[in-house]
């Protein structure tokens, strides 16, 4: 397992803008998509590609094409904010969905929805903006592996060390791609400094 913090000025710029409490939902969604694009470019840079050729308007040109399909599995609901970027980058992506809800008393996840495509022939990316306790991420990775995924990576906006430790213990082979590893969790199991409740900020459902 490896934790890959994307070291790029654009990633830092987008992340700080996301952290800003004054960022409105519409801009928050746009920033999430842009930052996910940066993360996915990094997370896919070592995927094997095969030699291919096309005809340009002038002559033949050789290059590379991805060998195997891409699968994206956002964890509902916050993971939906990351999905558009993946679909834009990989138009032929297969998309699955996992609904995991955290018990606010125990902080443990429970599954309420699952719809997953074929994965045994693909590169699978689990999308969750916040790797906090690691419970939802571990459960999600377990589900996609149970469904046949042979290769899985986790893509997050920010992570807590506690969540990384839990995911590493449950699935030691999984690589994590993120924009930041934050200080830790508070007493309510929110990442600090973090971004607050990502789903609420994404969809404009924060309590007033």
Establish whether 197 is a catalytic residue: yes
- Which distant-in-sequence residues (6+ apart) come within 8 Å of 153 by Cβ? 43, 123, 124, 125, 126, 174, 175, 176, 177
* Cβ density class 102-134: b for 16+ within 10 Å, e for less: eeeeeeebeeeebebbebeebbbbbbbbbbbbb
Candidate list 19, 84, 102, 175, residue with the active-site label:
102
Q: Which two tokens stand for residue 89?
A: 């980058």
Contact 13, 179 (CB under 8 A): no
Candidate list 20, 88, 106, 120, residue with the active-site label:
106
Backbone angles phi, psi at 89, to 5 degrees: -70, -35
Cα 152 off chain centre by? 11
Q: 3-state DSSP call for residue 152? A: strand
Establish whether 175 is a catalytic residue: no
Establish whether 128 is a catalytic residue: no
Residue with tokens 């607050």: 196
Establish whether 94 is a catalytic residue: no
Secondary element (H or E) of residue 34: helix 25-43
Q: Which two tokens stand for residue 73?
A: 């599995």
Q: For 78, which DSSP code?
A: T
Cα 189 off chain centre by? 19
- Residues designated as active site: 102, 106, 197, 200
């Amino acid at each position: 397992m490896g934790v890959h913090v994307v070291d790029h000025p654009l990633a830092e710029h987008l992340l700080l803008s996301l952290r800003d409490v004054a960022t409105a939902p519409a801009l928050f969604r746009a920033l999430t998509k842009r930052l996910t694009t940066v993360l996915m470019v990094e997370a896919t840079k070592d995927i094997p590609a095969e030699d291919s050729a096309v005809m340009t308007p002038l002559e033949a040109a050789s290059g590379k094409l991805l060998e195997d399909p891409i699968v994206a599995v956002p964890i509902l609901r916050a993971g939906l904010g990351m999905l558009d970027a993946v679909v834009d980058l990989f138009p032929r992506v297969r998309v699955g969905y996992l609904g995991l809800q955290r018990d606010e008393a125990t902080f443990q996840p429970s599954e309420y929805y699952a719809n997953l495509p074929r994965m045994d022939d693909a590169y699978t990316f689990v999308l969750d903006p916040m790797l906090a306790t690691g419970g939802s991420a571990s459960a999600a990775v377990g589900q996609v592996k149970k469904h046949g995924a042979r290769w899985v990576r986790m893509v997050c906006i920010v992570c807590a060390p506690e969540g990384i430790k839990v995911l590493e213990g449950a699935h030691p082979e999984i690589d994590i791609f993120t924009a930041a590893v934050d200080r830790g969790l508070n007493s309510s199991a929110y990442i600090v400094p973090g971004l607050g409740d990502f789903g609420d900020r994404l969809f404009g459902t924060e309590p007033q």
